[in-house]
């Protein structure tokens, strides 16, 4: 029980972990990793039924996709941190194995996290696109709110989003 409570508190750290991309851009009071995951799931709930995928599975994938960042030895590693993608994956993978060992149903959580990272299932592909769309939405809101120029985040979203409906939303967002 003590191990479970410790793991849940570790996951709670995602409430206090600001998304590193916004910190780098000096956005005032940026959202937390948990905030981002929450709205990505809202996108899944309202959009996934039109995307031809299992909504429940997309919700679960998005719920766990950033859990590794709750590990104090990992955090929110971005492409600007000079950590090679393989090393980032290795650190996150080790962190997830440790965290999931302390969770009931941890094996399912670990499998979901791996499915998201592999990105090969239809649901993982949509989850990754919704993750990018949520970032694009947030970048646009921060641009308007703070008069910032955050076009790099939009370009990153354009590279990831392929589903016609999500492309349409991304286009409308910037028009």
Residues making contact with a copy of itself (CB under 8 A): 1-2, 4-5, 8-9, 11-12, 14-16, 29, 31-32, 34-39, 41-43, 45-47, 49-50, 56, 59-60, 63-64, 67, 103-106, 108-109, 137-138, 141, 168-169, 172-173
CB of 4 to a copy of itself, least distance (A): 7
Token representation of residue 134: 């949520």
Token representation of residue 104: 């009931």
CB of 18 to a copy of itself, least distance (A): 11
Neighbours of 85 (CB within 10 A): 9
Token representation of residue 23: 């910190």
CB of 41 to a copy of itself, least distance (A): 6
Nearer to a copy of itself, 50 or 162 (CB): 50
CB of 8 to a copy of itself, least distance (A): 6
170: exposed, middle or buried (C-beta count within 10 Å: 0-12, 13-18, 19+)?
Answer: buried
As a whole number of angstroms, the distance between CA 9 and CA 124 comes to 27
Nearer to a copy of itself, 77 or 99 (CB): 99
Nearer to a copy of itself, 43 or 90 (CB): 43
55-64 vs 106-118: helix axis angle to the nearest 10?
100
CB of 149 to a copy of itself, least distance (A): 19
Nearer to a copy of itself, 87 or 171 (CB): 171
As a whole number of angstroms, the distance between CA 166 and CA 145 comes to 23
């Amino acid at each position: 029980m003590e191990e479970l409570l410790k793991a849940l508190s570790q996951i709670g750290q995602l409430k206090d972990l600001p998304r590193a991309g916004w910190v780098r851009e000096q956005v005032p009071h940026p959202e937390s990793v948990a905030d981002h995951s929450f709205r990505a799931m809202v996108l899944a709930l309202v959009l996934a039924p039109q995307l031809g995928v299992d909504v429940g599975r997309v919700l679960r994938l998005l719920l766990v996709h950033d859990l590794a960042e709750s590990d104090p030895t990992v955090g929110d590693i971005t492409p600007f941190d000079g950590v090679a993608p393989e090393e980032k994956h290795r650190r996150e993978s080790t962190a997830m194995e440790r965290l999931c060992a302390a969770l009931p149903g941890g094996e399912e959580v670990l499998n979901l996290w791996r499915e998201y990272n592999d990105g090969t299932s239809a649901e993982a592909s949509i989850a990754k696109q919704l993750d990018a769309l949520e970032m694009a939405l947030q970048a646009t809101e921060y641009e308007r709110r703070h008069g910032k120029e955050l076009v790099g985040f939009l370009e990153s979203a354009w590279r990831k989003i392929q589903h016609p409906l999500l492309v349409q939303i991304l286009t409308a967002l910037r028009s």
